[in-house]
Structure 1
Amino acid sequence: SPKVATYDMQPEMSAQEVCENVLKAVKNPEYQFVLVNFANPDMVGHTGVVEAATKACHVVDECVGKIAKECKENDVVMLLTADHGNAEVMFDEEKQTPETAHTTNDVPFVVINAPQGTELRDGDGALCDVAPTVLQLLGIKQPAEMTGKSLIK
């Protein structure tokens, strides 16, 4: 992350560098799994500055698009999700104040370049289901300690 007082001053943060590293990893057959966190919408969302949060989201959208394209070209499965929202609600209409806290809104779970015949369960997923889904895609048995269930039917 850049050394700035608040992230609205540099909403792109380090997204481009992170993206370039992920693109290299996707092309590298040594990696079976790559996890990336684009913190921009969350960290910039905490500032309450709508214009900066919008820019942060645009930068991440561009990066995710590049990564998705590379995954398709290299026959790599990509999962896209989040553990909470933030930037999608930037203003509290009732209080007439900026909203800077995490939201409890549902977040997407998208599989890009899924193996043939992969179907997701309908709308009943939770954060605890993400790791079992990753394990299933990697062909790894889920440990008994994991309470979640794969999102794949």
Structure 2
Amino acid sequence: MSHPPVALVILDGWGLAPPGPGNAVDLADTPVFDELYANNPHATLVASGPDVGLPEGQIGNSEVGHLNLGAGRVVYQDLTRIDRAISDGTFDRQPVLVEAVRNAAGGSGVLHVVGLASFGGVHSHLAHIVELARMGARAGVREVRVHAITDGRDVAPDASQHDLLWLEGKLMDVEATTEGCRAKVVSVIGRYWAMDRDHRWDRTERAFELFVNRIGRSAPSAHDAARLAREDGITDEFIEPFVIAGDGGLTGDGIQPGDVVIYANFRPDRMRQLVPAISSSEFTGFDRGLGYRPAIRAV
């Protein structure tokens, strides 16, 4: 018995929603889809939240949709798995993380956390950055230095001022509940620069120079950096490098040889350039300076 060919066709961004001025699908002329809907059986799928393995209320994205459609079942995403690990206490017992914070505490005493400072949940989540800071503080790390990458794509283009203020408050809580540890945001930069994945090395180099050599515009706090960028008409994705100085940050060097760096993004595709730039001895994307020794203790 022969079967007719079947095609699975996915249109990223195509969805069903009530009519409105922001509903491009509804406003467009779509005769082919109109005919398909009118004359063929059809059903709808939920593309967010628990139906695709995400927390309640969490928006979906292309990767999540593709995984669930391809698997034919609910696939629990990294965001959900990490959230559950934090809730049940197993996050603090992850061997790789335990080793990393112990190395930081027993070495230079400095732990760097690099990640997308966003509630978007597509590449990272702010709560995970805070939990890594707490874990480092409990392990005896002297300083937790957070290098915040602003979003502007998976969340509103001006969300970072509020989100960075929230992050700074949570890091203050870490300091208040852990004797002998300072936890601060020390640098801010947009994802346009820090999360390029198309070999535009000039962008990655801007992030490298900020995180390693602390080259950037000065701001008194992370949320002030976002405010200053906004005043210049720059949205979160494109915020240029800011060094956080004064009481809002920590003075001293950037990422140094032997320092431990934890990269907080759970989605790897947009960290593939930045991570080797900082942490690989075989990196050739751009000149890192004579005698640069990578921070090889990277997670």
TM-score between the two structures when normalised by the length of structure 1: 0.41
TM-score between the two structures when normalised by the length of structure 2: 0.25
Structure ranking higher on relative contact order (CA contacts 8 Å, 6+ apart): 1
More helix by share: 2
Higher Rg: 2
More strand by share: 2
